[in-house]
Homo-oligomer: A and B are copies of this chain.
Amino acid sequence: MKRWLFTLLMVFFSTQVAIGASGRISEDTRACIECHSSLHPGIVADWKESRMAKISPVEALKKPGLERRISVEKVAESLAGFVVGCAECHTMGAEKHGDTFDHEGYQVHVVVTPKDCATCHPVEVEQYGKNLMSHAYGNLKENPVYHNLAETTNGVQAFKHMKTVYKGPDVETDAGSCYYCHGTRVKVDGVRMRDTDFGDMEFPILSGWPNQGVGRVNPDESEGSCAACHTRHQFSIEMARKPHTCSECHKGPDVPAHRVYMVSKHGNIYSALGKGWNYTAVPWAVGRDFTAPTCGTCHVSLVVSEEGGAVAKRSHQMNDRIPWRIFGLIYAHAHPKSPDTTIVKNKAGLPLPTELTGEPVVDYLIDEKEQGKRRKTMQKVCLSCHSQGWVDGQFGRFERTIKTTNEMTLTATKILLSAWEKGAAKGLAQNDSIFNEAIEKKWVEQWLFFANSTRYASAMAGADYGVFANGRWYMSKNIQEMADWLEFKLKRN
Contact = CB atoms under 8 A, between A and B. Distances in A.
A252 B471 CA distance: 10
A42, A414, A486: residue with the most chain B Cβ atoms closer than 10 Å: A42
Given A38-B309, A42-B286, A176 B463 contact: yes
Interface in A231-253: 231, 234, 236, 238-239, 242, 244-245, 247-249, 251-253
B170 A389 contact: no
Interface in A76-132: 110
A394 interface: yes
| Overall SS of chain A's interface | helix
A281 interface: no
Contact of A466 (B39, B176, B394): B176
Contacts of A388: 194, 203
B393 A210 contact: yes
Contacts of A288: 45
Instruction: State the oligomeric state as a number of copies.
Output: 3
Given A206-B389, A273-B236, A463-B177, A306 B45 contact: yes
Interface string A417-435: 0100000000000000000
A1 interface: no
Contact of A156 (B181, B204, B238, B408): B408
B411 A45 contact: no
B479 A40 contact: no
In the A-B complex, the 6 residue pairs with the smallest Cβ-Cβ separation, listed nearest first, are A45-B287, A42-B385, A180-B463, A252-B464, A244-B271, A438-B480
Interface of A: 6, 10, 13-14, 37-46, 49, 110, 152-159, 162-164, 169-170, 172-173, 175-178, 180-181, 194, 203-206, 209-210, 212, 231, 234, 236, 238-239, 242, 244-245, 247-249, 251-254, 262-265, 267-269, 271-273, 275, 285-288, 291, 305-307, 309, 383-390, 393-394, 396-398, 400-401, 404, 407-408, 411, 414-415, 418, 436-438, 441, 448-449, 457-458, 461, 463-469, 471-473, 476-477, 479-481, 483-493
